[in-house]
Structure 1
Amino acid sequence: MTNPHAGWYPDPTGAAQQRFWDGEQWTNAIAAPTVIAVPVPVRPAKDWAQRHPAWTTLIVFWIVCMIWQWEWLAPTLALTAAAAWSIRWLRRRNARLAADAERQDALLAEGDERGIYGDYPPADAA
Protein backbone atom coordinates (compact mmCIF):
# COMPACT_ATOMS: atom_id res chain seq x y z
CA MET A 1 0.00 0.00 0.00
CA THR A 2 1.42 3.37 -0.96
CA ASN A 3 -0.67 5.36 1.54
CA PRO A 4 0.72 5.07 5.09
CA HIS A 5 -2.32 6.69 6.74
CA ALA A 6 -4.91 4.46 8.38
CA GLY A 7 -8.43 4.64 7.00
CA TRP A 8 -11.06 3.17 4.70
CA TYR A 9 -9.98 2.54 1.10
CA PRO A 10 -11.39 0.67 -1.89
CA ASP A 11 -10.86 -3.06 -1.45
CA PRO A 12 -7.64 -4.12 -3.23
CA THR A 13 -9.35 -7.34 -4.35
CA GLY A 14 -11.63 -5.27 -6.62
CA ALA A 15 -14.84 -6.07 -4.73
CA ALA A 16 -17.48 -3.32 -4.55
CA GLN A 17 -16.73 -2.50 -0.90
CA GLN A 18 -14.18 -0.76 1.28
CA ARG A 19 -11.56 -2.35 3.49
CA PHE A 20 -9.77 -0.78 6.46
CA TRP A 21 -6.00 -0.12 6.18
CA ASP A 22 -4.52 0.17 9.69
CA GLY A 23 -1.36 1.86 8.43
CA GLU A 24 0.63 -1.38 8.07
CA GLN A 25 -1.70 -4.00 6.66
CA TRP A 26 -5.25 -4.64 5.44
CA THR A 27 -7.65 -5.73 8.19
CA ASN A 28 -10.68 -7.99 7.97
CA ALA A 29 -13.00 -5.00 8.57
CA ILE A 30 -15.17 -4.54 5.49
CA ALA A 31 -17.68 -1.77 4.82
CA ALA A 32 -20.40 -2.28 2.24
CA PRO A 33 -20.81 0.54 -0.28
CA THR A 34 -23.32 3.24 0.51
CA VAL A 35 -26.63 2.52 -1.16
CA ILE A 36 -28.48 5.57 -2.41
CA ALA A 37 -32.22 5.09 -2.37
CA VAL A 38 -33.93 6.76 -5.29
CA PRO A 39 -37.60 7.47 -4.63
CA VAL A 40 -39.87 5.99 -7.25
CA PRO A 41 -42.90 8.13 -8.03
CA VAL A 42 -46.11 6.38 -7.09
CA ARG A 43 -48.99 6.70 -9.50
CA PRO A 44 -52.15 8.06 -7.88
CA ALA A 45 -54.76 5.47 -7.08
CA LYS A 46 -57.57 5.17 -9.59
CA ASP A 47 -61.18 5.02 -8.54
CA TRP A 48 -63.46 2.18 -9.58
CA ALA A 49 -64.73 3.90 -12.74
CA GLN A 50 -61.20 4.57 -13.99
CA ARG A 51 -60.12 0.99 -13.30
CA HIS A 52 -63.17 -0.50 -15.04
CA PRO A 53 -64.09 1.70 -18.02
CA ALA A 54 -66.00 -1.07 -19.80
CA TRP A 55 -68.20 -1.80 -16.77
CA THR A 56 -68.73 1.92 -16.19
CA THR A 57 -69.87 2.41 -19.79
CA LEU A 58 -72.20 -0.59 -19.55
CA ILE A 59 -73.76 0.62 -16.30
CA VAL A 60 -74.29 4.15 -17.62
CA PHE A 61 -75.81 2.74 -20.82
CA TRP A 62 -78.12 0.52 -18.76
CA ILE A 63 -79.28 3.47 -16.64
CA VAL A 64 -79.95 5.56 -19.74
CA CYS A 65 -81.97 2.70 -21.25
CA MET A 66 -83.99 2.35 -18.07
CA ILE A 67 -84.75 6.06 -18.01
CA TRP A 68 -85.69 5.89 -21.70
CA GLN A 69 -87.93 2.88 -21.12
CA TRP A 70 -89.53 4.10 -17.93
CA GLU A 71 -90.97 7.44 -18.86
CA TRP A 72 -91.96 8.19 -15.29
CA LEU A 73 -88.39 7.87 -14.01
CA ALA A 74 -86.93 11.00 -15.64
CA PRO A 75 -89.52 13.44 -14.22
CA THR A 76 -89.31 11.70 -10.84
CA LEU A 77 -85.54 12.10 -10.76
CA ALA A 78 -85.84 15.73 -11.88
CA LEU A 79 -88.37 16.51 -9.14
CA THR A 80 -86.24 14.73 -6.54
CA ALA A 81 -83.16 16.70 -7.59
CA ALA A 82 -85.14 19.97 -7.52
CA ALA A 83 -86.48 19.20 -4.06
CA ALA A 84 -83.01 18.34 -2.75
CA TRP A 85 -81.59 21.56 -4.25
CA SER A 86 -84.43 23.62 -2.71
CA ILE A 87 -83.93 22.11 0.73
CA ARG A 88 -80.21 22.76 0.54
CA TRP A 89 -80.80 26.35 -0.60
CA LEU A 90 -83.28 26.97 2.25
CA ARG A 91 -80.87 25.58 4.85
CA ARG A 92 -78.05 27.82 3.59
CA ARG A 93 -80.37 30.85 3.52
CA ASN A 94 -81.56 30.17 7.08
CA ALA A 95 -77.97 29.75 8.27
CA ARG A 96 -77.04 33.06 6.63
CA LEU A 97 -80.03 34.83 8.25
CA ALA A 98 -79.18 33.33 11.65
CA ALA A 99 -75.57 34.52 11.34
CA ASP A 100 -76.76 38.04 10.43
CA ALA A 101 -79.15 38.03 13.40
CA GLU A 102 -76.35 36.96 15.75
CA ARG A 103 -74.10 39.73 14.42
CA GLN A 104 -76.85 42.34 14.83
CA ASP A 105 -77.56 41.10 18.36
CA ALA A 106 -73.88 41.48 19.24
CA LEU A 107 -73.86 45.01 17.77
CA LEU A 108 -77.00 45.93 19.74
CA ALA A 109 -75.39 44.64 22.94
CA GLU A 110 -72.44 46.97 22.22
CA GLY A 111 -74.81 49.95 21.69
CA ASP A 112 -74.22 50.23 17.94
CA GLU A 113 -77.26 51.39 15.92
CA ARG A 114 -76.53 48.81 13.25
CA GLY A 115 -77.83 46.30 15.80
CA ILE A 116 -81.31 47.91 15.52
CA TYR A 117 -81.52 48.69 11.81
CA GLY A 118 -79.04 46.22 10.37
CA ASP A 119 -76.91 47.23 7.40
CA TYR A 120 -79.74 49.32 5.92
CA PRO A 121 -80.82 52.10 8.35
CA PRO A 122 -83.86 54.23 7.48
CA ALA A 123 -83.16 57.37 5.43
CA ASP A 124 -83.97 59.77 8.31
CA ALA A 125 -81.70 57.88 10.75
CA ALA A 126 -78.65 58.22 8.51
Structure 2
Amino acid sequence: MIADFEKFIDQVEDPEHQQRVRDVLEWVQTTFPQLEQRYAWNQPMFTDHGTFIIGFSVAKTHMAFAPEGTVMEAFATDIQADHYNPGKKFGRIKWSQPVDYDLLKRIIEFNIADKADCTTFWRK
Protein backbone atom coordinates (compact mmCIF):
# COMPACT_ATOMS: atom_id res chain seq x y z
CA MET A 1 0.00 0.00 0.00
CA ILE A 2 2.75 2.46 0.84
CA ALA A 3 5.43 0.71 -1.21
CA ASP A 4 6.77 4.02 -2.51
CA PHE A 5 7.69 4.97 1.05
CA GLU A 6 9.39 1.75 2.19
CA LYS A 7 12.91 3.01 1.45
CA PHE A 8 12.21 6.10 3.57
CA ILE A 9 10.78 4.00 6.41
CA ASP A 10 13.75 1.62 6.28
CA GLN A 11 16.08 4.57 6.98
CA VAL A 12 14.45 5.20 10.36
CA GLU A 13 16.85 3.52 12.79
CA ASP A 14 14.63 2.79 15.81
CA PRO A 15 12.20 -0.09 15.07
CA GLU A 16 9.45 1.50 17.21
CA HIS A 17 9.81 4.82 15.36
CA GLN A 18 9.86 2.95 12.06
CA GLN A 19 6.57 1.25 12.93
CA ARG A 20 5.00 4.53 14.01
CA VAL A 21 5.93 6.16 10.70
CA ARG A 22 4.53 3.18 8.81
CA ASP A 23 1.31 3.30 10.89
CA VAL A 24 0.79 7.02 10.21
CA LEU A 25 1.48 6.74 6.47
CA GLU A 26 -0.78 3.71 6.14
CA TRP A 27 -3.49 5.50 8.12
CA VAL A 28 -3.35 8.49 5.75
CA GLN A 29 -3.55 6.22 2.70
CA THR A 30 -6.43 4.18 4.17
CA THR A 31 -8.37 7.20 5.42
CA PHE A 32 -7.83 9.22 2.23
CA PRO A 33 -7.48 6.64 -0.57
CA GLN A 34 -7.97 9.33 -3.21
CA LEU A 35 -4.64 10.95 -2.29
CA GLU A 36 -1.61 10.14 -4.40
CA GLN A 37 1.67 9.16 -2.81
CA ARG A 38 4.75 11.15 -3.75
CA TYR A 39 8.30 10.99 -2.48
CA ALA A 40 10.12 14.31 -2.93
CA TRP A 41 12.52 16.48 -0.96
CA ASN A 42 13.50 13.36 0.99
CA GLN A 43 10.06 12.96 2.51
CA PRO A 44 6.85 11.05 1.88
CA MET A 45 3.95 13.27 0.97
CA PHE A 46 0.41 13.03 -0.24
CA THR A 47 -1.07 15.09 -3.04
CA ASP A 48 -4.51 15.67 -4.52
CA HIS A 49 -4.86 16.51 -8.22
CA GLY A 50 -1.18 17.47 -8.25
CA THR A 51 -1.33 19.83 -5.29
CA PHE A 52 0.46 19.25 -1.98
CA ILE A 53 -1.74 18.15 0.94
CA ILE A 54 0.65 16.91 3.67
CA GLY A 55 4.18 15.63 4.06
CA PHE A 56 6.05 13.83 6.84
CA SER A 57 9.64 13.74 8.02
CA VAL A 58 11.58 12.28 10.93
CA ALA A 59 14.32 13.44 13.25
CA LYS A 60 16.03 11.94 16.25
CA THR A 61 13.44 13.27 18.73
CA HIS A 62 10.26 13.50 16.66
CA MET A 63 8.18 12.86 13.57
CA ALA A 64 7.00 16.00 11.79
CA PHE A 65 3.87 16.64 9.76
CA ALA A 66 3.90 19.49 7.25
CA PRO A 67 0.59 20.76 5.86
CA GLU A 68 1.86 24.28 4.85
CA GLY A 69 1.82 27.47 6.90
CA THR A 70 -1.80 28.42 6.24
CA VAL A 71 -2.98 25.19 7.84
CA MET A 72 -0.58 25.49 10.77
CA GLU A 73 -2.12 28.90 11.50
CA ALA A 74 -5.69 27.60 11.13
CA PHE A 75 -5.05 24.75 13.60
CA ALA A 76 -2.59 26.54 15.90
CA THR A 77 -4.79 26.16 19.00
CA ASP A 78 -5.32 22.42 18.45
CA ILE A 79 -1.65 21.82 17.70
CA GLN A 80 -0.68 23.67 20.85
CA ALA A 81 -3.30 21.76 22.89
CA ASP A 82 -1.63 18.49 21.82
CA HIS A 83 1.72 19.91 22.93
CA TYR A 84 3.14 19.37 19.46
CA ASN A 85 6.06 21.70 18.91
CA PRO A 86 4.91 23.89 16.01
CA GLY A 87 7.13 25.45 13.40
CA LYS A 88 5.94 27.92 10.80
CA LYS A 89 5.00 25.23 8.29
CA PHE A 90 5.11 21.99 10.29
CA GLY A 91 4.44 20.41 13.67
CA ARG A 92 6.69 18.05 15.61
CA ILE A 93 5.23 15.03 17.39
CA LYS A 94 7.74 13.69 19.91
CA TRP A 95 8.25 9.95 19.70
CA SER A 96 6.91 9.74 23.27
CA GLN A 97 3.65 11.54 22.39
CA PRO A 98 0.53 9.90 21.01
CA VAL A 99 -0.51 10.73 17.44
CA ASP A 100 -3.75 12.71 17.38
CA TYR A 101 -5.34 11.06 14.35
CA ASP A 102 -8.48 13.17 14.70
CA LEU A 103 -6.40 16.33 14.38
CA LEU A 104 -4.49 14.93 11.40
CA LYS A 105 -7.80 13.99 9.77
CA ARG A 106 -9.17 17.50 10.22
CA ILE A 107 -5.93 19.05 8.91
CA ILE A 108 -5.94 16.87 5.80
CA GLU A 109 -9.67 17.44 5.19
CA PHE A 110 -9.11 21.20 5.52
CA ASN A 111 -6.27 21.12 3.00
CA ILE A 112 -8.20 18.99 0.50
CA ALA A 113 -11.19 21.36 0.66
CA ASP A 114 -9.14 24.57 0.75
CA LYS A 115 -7.00 23.52 -2.22
CA ALA A 116 -9.81 21.97 -4.30
CA ASP A 117 -9.36 24.62 -7.00
CA CYS A 118 -5.59 25.02 -6.55
CA THR A 119 -3.66 24.51 -9.79
CA THR A 120 -0.17 24.73 -8.28
CA PHE A 121 1.77 22.36 -6.03
CA TRP A 122 2.14 24.89 -3.19
CA ARG A 123 -0.23 27.68 -2.24
CA LYS A 124 0.62 30.99 -3.86
TM over 0.5: no
Structure number with bigger Rg = 1
Please report the TM-score for the alignment, with normalisation by the length of structure 1.
0.22
**Looking at both structures, which has the greater relative contact order when contacts are Cα pairs under 8 Å and sequence separation is at least 6?**
2
As a proportion of its length, which structure holds more strand? 2
